[in-house]
Structure 1
Amino acid sequence: MAPPAARLARLSRSVSFSACHRLHSKSLSDEENLKLFGKCNNPNGHGHNYKVIVTVRGEIDPISGMVINLTDLKQYMQEAIVEPLDHKNLDKDVPYFAEVVSTTENVAVFIWENLKKLLPMGTLYKVKVYETDQNIVVYKGEETISEK
């Protein structure tokens, strides 16, 4: 009897963190920043309660029945997301954002890069960051949009 065909699955887990930031680009003047970012350019910053959903993919292990152990995924997310970002001023406390504007798009890239270092190679599928219920970014590791 032939072994059963491999089954692929995607598994998601969520985590939340609170952080503040100021949308401000060092490449722009103060006037240009204010025009581009509006009230989000407030010199004192503003805060969000972010929600992050991480999706991994892979074969369902025939022995464990899992794509990845949820306990491991929880620890990876704690290390890659919560520890560096929770209750932080993104622009002042997270070295990555010293030179990168702390938009939600860039927060998603930061999380992706951190998780990629911890997860088994090829398992990270998607990072979805909710800045608010209305503002959501999905990042799948694409670096550029290729031209046709």
Structure 2
Amino acid sequence: MGWIDRLLSRFKIRTKVLLLVLPFILGITAVGVTGLVTSGLLQSRMAISSDVAVSLRGFKDVYAAMIGFLDQTTEENRALVFRRLDEQRAALDTARRRLTPQSEGWEGRCHVVSLTRGQGVYLRTQTAAPVTAFHCAIARIR
């Protein structure tokens, strides 16, 4: 302990306090920065998880509308299927805009969006055909 006293006796009291307090301040700053970065990562992962849950719910709604149309082939049920498809496409587009190419699941999400968009375009081309052709198109998707 004697050598520490001789070493510290060369400095002023302000320098001694700074040498003792500075490591604590740096440690607290490091913990704060680490917490900030971690909370940002967690927030983005939670947003992605929320988007996945919303997407799954949307696919369930589209499926239910398609099954309802297959049970009762009416123009109202057909319009409901198109409405659900448009809602699902909008939800997927919103989720895709929130993702960056560096995000996990970027390729898979974009693939699902393009498949959904492609099926919606295919079904829209069947609107001039009779309801039975539309019925066959939905059965092919199922």
TM range (shorter): under 0.3
The TM-score with structure 1 as length reference comes to 0.26
The TM-score with structure 2 as length reference comes to 0.27
Task: Choose between structure 1 and 2: higher strand proportion.
Answer: 1
User: Which is bigger in relative contact order (C-alpha 8 A, separation at least 6)?
Assistant: 1
Kindly name which structure, 1 or 2, has the bigger radius of gyration based on alpha carbons.
2
Task: Choose between structure 1 and 2: higher helix proportion.
Answer: 2
